[in-house]
């Protein structure tokens, strides 16, 4: 374990080419520079002058297309979500791409010598109207997908990939960026501007800009094909989520909580099955069913339906798509000289190399598997005592773990759920944001800001101390056909100041099942934790104080840290005593029940850690092997067997529906990042536990926001964390946090 701690600390130091200044106070000064840097006024003018030379015809047909037009209305302008017209999407994308390419050509062909203003800042300015189109594209893709949209998506995905390749492979543009990066003037720039230049340069250099001839052409071809495959993969999963719904009669509800039954009845009615009960093919529906249903055969059916998404041997089967994706990714990075996709992917992450990521996970794996064996033994004892005459299978795990929980801690998850009202949890998040971030949330008058669905509500976020407007927060909480499963945060506009202040527009999206009209929506403890987690992502966007668009980007194995840390406030006394109130009586959660929840903080960690690590380890191994002849189902089984995965636990995301890594490149070879970030989370949480006022310590909260939230990607993550904590993080806090033995 000591070796791993050293590896982790070294990788923090090595991230992004090493540290800058050393020492906490110096780093805090660097962070302060990020917030207060003054940007020369001619940066925006330079881009305006360049782009003013673009002929209207070269920019495409933009006139009259609402999806391309500037946001309008209050709060610095907001998207026209209520007037979204799918007929305008394809023309908007085509016009936006044409405009962006024309802007890029203007930068690349500028006769003036390249400098920070006419090259880097001009590049930051390019593509503004296309970015607006992407905001609408994201809503159609994630929140309100339709067969008509999916047809457009399938057609446009390879064209968008071709468009991006035209930019990254524009040699004249890359040479100008490279000249700025290698110039003497680069060293004289303030640290945030230096980081901006490096990020822009590296985004080109790592994505094929250095290639020539046939290699460059092949790289672009691969990107186009991958874009098509990613879209097909995601749409296949969505089709299986929509197409496989288990309907129950009133005689098949034994063991299910009243609130769940009501939600299942409503879901069936929405799908044209009145009088029945729908178990939808999403985690938020599957998980509680497997936890509470007494019907073992139905548990197995629901389990198999959920874990077989994308793996049914039909038109929506994803196995062949996975094989092609992995092979193309390997070929593409081979063109750049890398041994495998994972090595390319992690070079600029905090882990730096796949070997370091594997070292972290393989250090935790034995303890997690050992805990699973203990958990299964406990469950089997209960099953035997009941005369069930079964061996624990994956579809039994949640059900019997709930029985173990009740027997050992007298903790009933359904009893806990009665204190977890969705609206009250939202109020709790607002309270935490007020205490830690000094934010205030006020609902926007209905109709003042357009939304994409009647379920969506909007709040204005202001600074409590100054009253200054910070941004808007959108909430889309409920499941519905056409909305992808899970929970996520997204941004429709980021904070910027380099050409005038622009405030953020962010949203949280969930898939809670709406109950009967007028009844509160009750959620599980796990769902409440996820709600806080995703709100952490939203607060990360709302807290931004960076000047440039690129500095709002993230480092994948770091960006989960902020959101994972926010989960910890759910368990604070201030939240429990004031917001976790019984849905019927309004009474506080009893101290005895609170203590039971705290006593079970590390309960079921074998299952939760092993199912996650299985997915993360399979992800990395997919991207470190020779992909020739890869058969995903067989590879998955062989890898899990090689790891010694207990038969009672499956991957959290089986390969055929592992959208994190196969519906885009977002988490590809990077799903490990949740655990990497959790090392930071556990260490930072201990800092709050040690603070004079605990999780509401004002001084530590100020350091948290200034060093780890507001700077986004303007500061190397290793430096940022060290500025907050005064040292690097090690793995010991993580092991303590999960109740695993330390080494």
* Overall residue count recorded for the chain in this entry: 743
Phi, psi of 516 (to 5 degrees): -65, 150
CA dihedral 718, 722, 728, 732 (to 10 degrees): -110
- Give strand pairing partners of 505: 472, 493
* Tokens matching residue 401: 């773990």
* Tokens matching residue 643: 């790891």
CA atoms of 516 and 509, how far apart (whole Å): 21
Determine the 3-state secondary structure of 177 from DSSP. helix
Phi, psi of 699 (to 5 degrees): -65, -45
CA atoms of 437 and 431, how far apart (whole Å): 10
* Tokens matching residue 510: 């969930």
Other C-beta atoms within 10 Å of 229: how many? 21
CA atoms of 152 and 719, how far apart (whole Å): 43
Concatenating the DSSP letter of every residue in 547-616 gives SSGGGG---HHHHHHHHHHHGGGGGSHHHHHHH-B-TTT-PBPPHHHHHHHHHTTTTTHHHHHHHHHHHH
Concatenating the DSSP letter of every residue in 87-143 gives GGHHHHHHHHHHHHHHHHHHHHT-SSPP-IIIIIIHHHHTTHHHHHHHHHHHHHHHT
- Give strand pairing partners of 279: 246
CA dihedral 265, 268, 269, 274 (to 10 degrees): -80
The separation between CA 43 and the C-alpha centre of its own chain, rounded to angstroms, equals: 32
CA quadruple 305, 306, 312, 314: dihedral sign: positive
* Tokens matching residue 217: 């052409």
C-alpha distances in angstroms, 70 versus 66, 131, 422? 8, 11, 34
CA atoms of 507 and 528, how far apart (whole Å): 17
- Give strand pairing partners of 442: 460
Question: Residue 522 has what DSSP assignment?
Answer: B
Residue written as tokens 């288990």?
246
The separation between CA 653 and the C-alpha centre of its own chain, rounded to angstroms, equals: 15
112 is catalytic: no
CA atoms of 508 and 531, how far apart (whole Å): 8
Other C-beta atoms within 10 Å of 154: how many? 14
Q: Where are the beta strands (DSSP E) in 134-255?
A: 246-248
Decide the pairing of beta strands 505-512 and 457-463.
Answer: unpaired
For the chain, the farthest-separated pair of C-alpha atoms sits apart, in whole angstroms, at: 84
Q: Which of 241, 276, 534, 608 is catalytic?
A: 534
The separation between CA 711 and the C-alpha centre of its own chain, rounded to angstroms, equals: 18
Category of 77 on φ-ψ map: left (φ > 0), alpha (ψ -120 to 50) or beta: left
Using H for helix, E for strand and C for coil, what is the string for 247-265? Answer: EECHHHCCCCCHHHHHHHH
C-alpha distances in angstroms, 181 versus 120, 186, 293, 353? 10, 6, 61, 24
Contact in structure between 77 and 70 (CB atoms under 8 Å)? yes
Contact in structure between 16 and 713 (CB atoms under 8 Å)? no
- Give strand pairing partners of 462: 440, 469
* Catalytic residue list: 534
């Amino acid at each position: 374990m000591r070796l791993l701690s050293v590896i982790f600390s070294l990788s923090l130091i090595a991230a992004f080419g090493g540290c800058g200044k050393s020492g906490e106070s110096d780093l805090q000064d660097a962070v302060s520079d990020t917030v207060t840097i003054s940007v020369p006024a001619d940066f925006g003018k330079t881009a305006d002058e360049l782009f003013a030379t673009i002929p209207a015809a070269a920019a495409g047909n933009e006139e009259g297309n609402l999806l391309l037009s500037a946001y309008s209305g209050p709060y610095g302008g907001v998207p026209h979500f209520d007037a979204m017209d799918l007929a305008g999407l394809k023309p908007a994308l085509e016009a936006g791409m044409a405009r962006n390419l024309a802007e890029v050509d203007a930068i690349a062909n500028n006769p003036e010598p390249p400098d920070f203003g006419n090259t880097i800042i001009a590049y930051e300015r390019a593509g503004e109207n296309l970015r607006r189109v992407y905001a609408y594209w994201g809503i159609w893709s994630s929140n309100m997908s339709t067969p008509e949209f999916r047809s457009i998506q399938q057609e446009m995905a390879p064209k968008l990939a071709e468009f991006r390749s035209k930019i990254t492979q524009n040699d004249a543009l890359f040479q100008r960026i490279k000249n700025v990066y290698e110039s003497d003037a680069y060293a004289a720039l303030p640290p945030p501007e230096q980081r901006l230049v490096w990020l822009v340069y590296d985004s080109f250099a790592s994505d094929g800009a250095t290639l020539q001839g046939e290699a460059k052409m092949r790289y672009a071809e691969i990107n186009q094909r991958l874009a098509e495959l990613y879209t097909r993969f995601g749409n296949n999963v969505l089709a299986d989520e929509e197409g496989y719904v288990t309907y129950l009669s009133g005689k098949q509800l034994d063991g299910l909580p009243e609130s769940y039954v009501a939600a299942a009845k409503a879901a069936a009615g929405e799908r044209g099955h009145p009088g029945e009960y729908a178990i939808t093919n999403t985690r938020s529906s599957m998980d509680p069913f497997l936890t509470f249903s007494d019907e073992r055969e139905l548990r197995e059916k629901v389990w198999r339906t959920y874990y077989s998404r994308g793996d049914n041997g039909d038109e929506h089967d994803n196995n062949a798509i996975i094989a092609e994706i992995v092979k193309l990714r390997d070929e593409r990075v081979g063109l750049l000289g890398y041994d495998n996709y994972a090595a390319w992917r992690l070079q600029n992450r905090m882990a730096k190399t796949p070997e370091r990521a594997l070292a972290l996970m393989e250090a935790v794996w034995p303890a997690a598997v050992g805990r699973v064996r203990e958990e299964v033994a406990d469950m089997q004892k209960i099953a035997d005592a009941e005369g069930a005459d079964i061996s624990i299978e994956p579809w039994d795990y949640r059900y019997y773990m709930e029985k173990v929980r009740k027997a050992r801690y007298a903790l009933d998850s359904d009893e806990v759920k009665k204190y977890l009202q969705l609206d009250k949890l939202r109020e709790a998040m607002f309270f935490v944001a007020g205490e830690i971030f000094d934010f205030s949330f006020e609902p926007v008058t209905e109709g003042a800001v357009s939304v994409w669905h009647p379920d969506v509500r909007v709040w204005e976020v202001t600074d409590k101390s100054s009253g200054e407007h910070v941004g808007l927060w959108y909430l889309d909480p409920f499941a519905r056909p056409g909305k992808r499963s899970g929970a996520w945060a997204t941004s429709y506009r980021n904070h910027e100041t380099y050409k005038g202040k622009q405030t953020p527009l962010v949203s949280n999206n969930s898939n809670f099942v709406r109950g009967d009209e007028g009844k509160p929506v009750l959620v599980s403890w796990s769902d409440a934790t996820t709600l806080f987690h995703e709100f952490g992502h939203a607060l990360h966007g709302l807290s931004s104080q960076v000047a440039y668009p690129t500095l709002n980007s993230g480092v994948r194995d770091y960006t989960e840290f902020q959101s994972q840390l926010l989960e910890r406030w759910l368990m604070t006394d201030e939240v429990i005593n004031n917001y976790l109130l019984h849905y019927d009586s309004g009474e506080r959660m009893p101290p005895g029940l609170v203590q039971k929840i705290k006593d079970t903080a590390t309960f079921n960690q074998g299952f939760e850690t092993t199912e996650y690590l299985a997915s993360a380890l399979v992800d990395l191994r997919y991207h470190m092997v020779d992909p020739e002849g890869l058969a995903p189902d067989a590879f998955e089984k062989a890898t899990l067997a090689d790891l010694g995965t207990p038969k009672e636990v499956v991957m959290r995301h089986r390969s055929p529906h592992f959208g994190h890594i196969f519906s885009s490149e977002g988490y590809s070879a990077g799903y490990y990042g949740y655990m990497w970030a959790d090392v930071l989370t556990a260490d930072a949480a201990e800092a709050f536990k040690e603070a004079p006022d605990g999780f509401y310590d004002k001084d530590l909260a100020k350091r948290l926001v200034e060093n780890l939230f507001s700077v986004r990607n303007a500061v190397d993550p290793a430096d940022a964390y060290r500025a907050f904590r005064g040292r690097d993080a090690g793995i010991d806090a993580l092991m303590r946090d999960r109740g695993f033995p330390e080494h």
